[in-house]
Amino acid sequence: MFILIQNHQDNRVIYRLHGAVKSLNLKTSAQPVLVKPDDNYKDLADEINELAASQNKQIQYSSMANNELLKIINTLPVGVMVINQNSDVIFANPQMGDILDRKISREAHPYTIDIVNYKMLTMIDNVFNSHQSVRSEITAATDGTKTIDTQVVYSRINSSFHVIVIAYDISDVINITQMQVDFLRNASHELKTPVTAISGFAKTLLDGAKDDPEVLTEFLEIINQQSDQLTSLINDILTISHIQKDEIQTSDSVRLKDFVDQELMTQSTQIKQHNLEIQNLIDETFEVTMAFDSLQRIVRNLISNAVKYNRDGGQIIINAYSQGNFWYFSVKDTGIGISQRDLSRIFERFYRSDESRNKQQIPGTGLGLSIVNELVESLSGKITVKSQRGVGSTFTVRLPKEN
């Protein structure tokens, strides 16, 4: 009887030891095997328990490391997708869903459900077939303006492999690069025009035209005009560079009506040439607090724009008011107006509509509205425009009261 009881107890211990060893083999958390101090399997149980405790610590550490890795991957600015050798998506971070414009399921599923771009699909298929990583820039099928830097990586671990898709939306980088190219090209063109004119007329005068007083006066006036144009362009470019440097300026309290009247005086010649009617409706007591130079550039460029693009005998209405935590400044003209096609681009550097270039040959550097826009944005403000062809335009600047 004693032998039967002892065998039964031994079988229970052996069964628990077998379960612990099985957990160790499967690399899962194992429960300690408790036996009596005088048990025949005490030494074996202690060894297995020590191994189990060590493995449990490794499992816990590995789990913590995986969680930290997932947190890092989920906060990366790039999209990450992991595809197993069965072509199923087993992981994708939120950024990948944003880049693909899709909600990606957490359950394993074929990658063709999420990825519909032909070029990206082709890249993944090639990696599965060649076992070689590839990289390329892809234009998203859902939005032609989205450019994605895509890398498909082949990763083998022992006898299995995974394909990792890493995607980064570089649309902003591409746009900035293109803006820089456009800026240099347009700046070179705008600088070349007055320089060519000055050089050409100067050479003509040196070749003998200076002996004719009338021609001499005419050519010198043209050279002077082109010099002013060149100076204006250089000053505008310098202004933009100062805005980009985010220079700190001292704020001043300014009585806006008087300030606008002074700016109107500086442009009185052009205003008289076009026989324009000016209405400054700003209240005499209305004051704003901001950097003098920034205010001057904003007001000067908006008034200059309204003068240049107005019709002869037209009207300019200037107003300002306070609302909530902001104050507003508006300039309304009765000029040629802006087409809907041009409205989305008028704040781009050097951009000038075909109407201003071809029909009226309106002078200017094409930087005025860009300067206003960038200045307003640097001051946490916003500029809007309402316009109708043949009727006129209204530009409104909204700025915080404290700058």
Reply yes or no on domain 173-247 having CATH 1.10.10.60.
no
Which homologous superfamily is 77-169 in? PAS domain (3.30.450.20)
pLDDT at 350 over 70: no
pLDDT at 66 over 80: no
Looking at residue 358, its pLDDT comes to 41
> Cα separation of 88 and 91, whole Å?
9
pLDDT at 142 over 60: no
DSSP for 303-363 reads: HHHHHHTSPTT-EEEEEEEEETTEEEEEEEE-SS---HHHHTTTTSTT---HIIIIIS---
- Structure pTM? 0.52
Contact between 276 and 316 under an 8 Å Cβ cutoff? The reply is yes
Looking at residue 339, its pLDDT comes to 81
Which homologous superfamily is 248-403 in? Histidine kinase-like ATPase, C-terminal domain (3.30.565.10)
Percent of the chain topping pLDDT 70: 82
pLDDT at 152 over 90: yes
Looking at residue 184, its pLDDT comes to 74
Query: 403 has which bridge partners?
Result: none
End-to-end CA distance of the chain: 96
Looking at mean pLDDT, say which of 68-77, 337-346, 361-370, 392-401 comes out highest. Answer: 392-401
Nearest in space to 305 (alpha carbons), one of 356, 254, 354, 245: 356
Contact between 111 and 124 under an 8 Å Cβ cutoff? The reply is yes
**244 or 93: which carries more pLDDT confidence?**
93
pLDDT-based confidence at residue 340 (cuts at 50, 70, 90):
confident
pLDDT at 2 over 70: no
Question: What is the tens place of the pLDDT at every residue in 307-326?
Answer: 988 999 999 999 999 999 99
> Cα separation of 297 and 290, whole Å?
12
The alpha carbon of residue 313 and the mean position of all alpha carbons in its chain are separated, in whole angstroms, by 42
pLDDT at 148 over 60: yes
pLDDT-based confidence at residue 115 (cuts at 50, 70, 90):
very high
Mean pLDDT (whole number) for 365-389: 86
Contact between 380 and 400 under an 8 Å Cβ cutoff? The reply is yes
DSSP for 89-107 reads: EEEE-HHHHHHHTS---SS
pLDDT at 332 over 90: yes
Domain extent listing, the chain: 2-72, 77-169, 173-247, 248-403
C-alpha atoms less than 13 angstroms from C-alpha of 180 in its C-beta half-sphere: 6
Query: 169 has which bridge partners?
Result: 148
